[in-house]
Amino acid sequence: MRRLPFEAEEIAILAQAIDASEDLISDFYKISTSEWKRYRYDIQNLSGLDEEEVTDVAFAQIRRYLRRPGDRMRGSEPGDFFKICIQDHVIRRAVERDTGIGLFPLTAYIVTHELIHVVRFAKFLHRFDSTADEQDAEEKRVHALTFNMLQKTRIQGLPEVLAAFKDCRTMENFLAG
Ligand SMILES: [Zn+2]
């Protein structure tokens, strides 16, 4: 499988999808703008990933760092930092395979799902180090939350994405880094 990162046009679509997803999540969880800035995560596409952050079998990986990468200062804020690693090549393959699936609704769907995981880790609603059974239950919950949140939006092409991926078992992998 060729791993080609998104080009400028696709990056712009991903950026719009991230904005839309962050708005949805902060509305849903009633997180203010200043609170939102304290959430410790970053979203990177394929060109910003390390080798171990790349996979061919999921739309994303969530990597947990015990501190922000490059953050060596003493006294920096404690707490986990999450890197959402977007797998451009896997996403593009899904869009090209299925003519009913658009890049904007699919990336909005993926980013919303991943951000729900991150918010639930940050709020300690779910532990990063959990058993396979707990992870399965959490994945079902996150799918249901994603569905509820997105169902009310009017993103064009979203009903097709929801129908195709609402029970998708290969949304992401989790990496403890
Ligand atoms: Zn998930």
Distance from the CA of 33 to the center of ligand 1, in angstroms?
24
Distance from the CA of 142 to the center of ligand 1, in angstroms?
6
Distance from the CA of 13 to the center of ligand 1, in angstroms?
21
pLDDT confidence of residue 175: 93
Distance from the CA of 59 to the center of ligand 1, in angstroms?
10
What is the rounded average pLDDT for all residues in the chain? 91
Q: Could you tell me the pLDDT band of residue 2, with boundaries at 50, 70 and 90?
A: confident
Residue 104: is its pLDDT beyond 90? Answer: yes
Distance from the CA of 68 to the center of ligand 1, in angstroms?
22
pLDDT confidence of residue 124: 87
**pTM recorded for the entire structure:** 0.93
Q: What is the pLDDT of residues 31-89, one digit of tens each?
A: 998 888 888 899 999 999 999 999 999 999 999 988 766 665 555 556 789 999 999 99
Counting beta carbons within 10 angstroms of the beta carbon of residue 11, is it exposed (0 to 12), middle (13 to 18) or buried (19 or more)?
A: middle
Distance from the CA of 111 to the center of ligand 1, in angstroms?
10
Separation CA 34–CA 13 (nearest Å): 25
Distance from the CA of 107 to the center of ligand 1, in angstroms?
14
Non-local (6+) Cβ contacts of 68 within 8 A are 40, 76, 81
Give the type of residue at 101.
I
